[in-house]
Amino acid sequence: MDEFELINRFFRPLCVDVAENDIGIGDDASVLTISKEQQLVVTTDTHVESVHFPAGAKPYDVGFRSCTTSLSDIAAMGATARWASLALTVTDASDDWFESFAGGAADALKQCQASLIGGDTTRGPLVITWNIIGTVSAGTALLRSGAAPGDGIYVSGTLGSSAAALTFPLTGVQSYTALQDELRNRYWYPKPRFDLAHRLRSIASACIDISDGLVADLAHLARSSHCGAVVDSVQVPVDSALIELVGIECGLQMALTGGDDYEICFTVAQENESELMCLGKKLNHCITRIGHMIEGSGVRVIGGSGQEITVNKTGYRHFD
């Protein structure tokens, strides 16, 4: 049973009495009405050593990345991150370890002026859970579920670099080439797209952050929106360092399936596409149209001559 089946079967029944228009389980984060004007946006993410990040990683990097990837869920909803709780389970860590980990977490929170407001520190194998609470004006959160057939599909930034970084050692004292260093930095220091997503609230019809991989996350968006999606692979913005390292074919596969980039994927109705282009220029932010939504279901990836491209895997899943 994979994680999604597990949640649906055993934990979704515990999601009760969530108000109309609120979202419990099933988006990047929950959306909860707290007043007429405001909704809370809440996300929880766990990072286990050797599962979600390599053993022996620098504590600063672990602190920064674990916190930032949770912030990315809040960003992708168009919300403002406000408060963070940290559950940190660790065995026999030194003062230096804690200081460095806390430094990374502090720098992550500073990106969006969020505050640590509590948590729990316990002894055990290294497991880190961040719970982030954000706020958003009522009814304006960017959900996975708003896309319609005909909407354009867009991504921010470039894709695949984190997947490439995972192909060589991420920790240790060995020296890296400048290219490897660039990719490693993309993995360890993702940038939540707060500015962009915040302004997309009046433009985009649906949004998700790319944590499992473009095709896997777009499939979540399509399923939630009761649509299908077609991706024009030629348009997918593959990271240039990645192309240099592994070539375009392999780079494309990494961009389609590699997670961990924490860019956002969103859809925009035709009538809003010109406004989106203006926004991209204004923010000086790379935004790329990679396809469109269709009637039906699933995600199809099309090559330059119209042929269907087989995607090697569809994102990371626990409990496979």
Q: Residue 281 is encoded by which pair of tokens?
A: 């220029």
**If binding is defined by CB under 8 A, does position 304 make contact with its own copies?**
no
**If binding is defined by CB under 8 A, does position 237 make contact with its own copies?**
no
**Smallest distance, Å, CB 194 to its own copies?**
16
Among 54, 58, 80, 106, the residue binding its own copies under the rule CB under 8 A is 106
**If binding is defined by CB under 8 A, does position 96 make contact with its own copies?**
no
* Amino acid type, 26: G
CA distance 78 to 134: 10
**If binding is defined by CB under 8 A, does position 138 make contact with its own copies?**
no
**If binding is defined by CB under 8 A, does position 83 make contact with its own copies?**
yes
Nearer to its own copies, 53 or 188 (CB): 53
At CA 183, angle to CA 178 and CA 187, rounded to 5? 140
**Smallest distance, Å, CB 132 to its own copies?**
10
Nearest to 315 by CA among 218, 216, 232: 216
**Smallest distance, Å, CB 217 to its own copies?**
16
Among 32, 138, 166, 294, the residue binding its own copies under the rule CB under 8 A is 32
CA distance 235 to 66: 30
* Span from 91-99, 183-191, 210-218, 295-303 in contact with its own copies (CB under 8 A): 91-99
Nearer to its own copies, 62 or 164 (CB): 62
**If binding is defined by CB under 8 A, does position 55 make contact with its own copies?**
no
Nearer to its own copies, 101 or 187 (CB): 101
Among 57, 77, 79, 105, the residue binding its own copies under the rule CB under 8 A is 105
Sheet holding 152-156, edge to edge: 204-209, 264-268, 152-156, 287-294, 228-232, 298-302
214 exposed, middle or buried (CB, 10 Å; 0-12, 13-18, 19+)?
Answer: buried
Indicate if the alpha-carbon torsion angle 131, 157, 206, 235 is positive or negative: negative
Among 8, 21, 56, 122, the residue binding its own copies under the rule CB under 8 A is 122
**If binding is defined by CB under 8 A, does position 15 make contact with its own copies?**
yes
Q: Residue 211 is encoded by which pair of tokens?
A: 């944590």
- In the chain, alpha helices (H): 3-6, 59-76, 95-110, 161-165, 178-188, 194-200, 214-225, 240-246, 248-257, 273-283
14 exposed, middle or buried (CB, 10 Å; 0-12, 13-18, 19+)?
Answer: exposed
Beta bridge partners of 204: 268
**If binding is defined by CB under 8 A, does position 56 make contact with its own copies?**
no
* Residue ranges that bind its own copies, judged by CB under 8 A: 1, 3, 6-7, 9-11, 13-18, 24-25, 29-30, 32, 34-35, 37-38, 40, 42-46, 48-49, 51-52, 82-83, 85-87, 89, 95, 98-99, 101-102, 105-106, 109, 113, 115-125, 127, 129, 131, 133, 135, 318-319
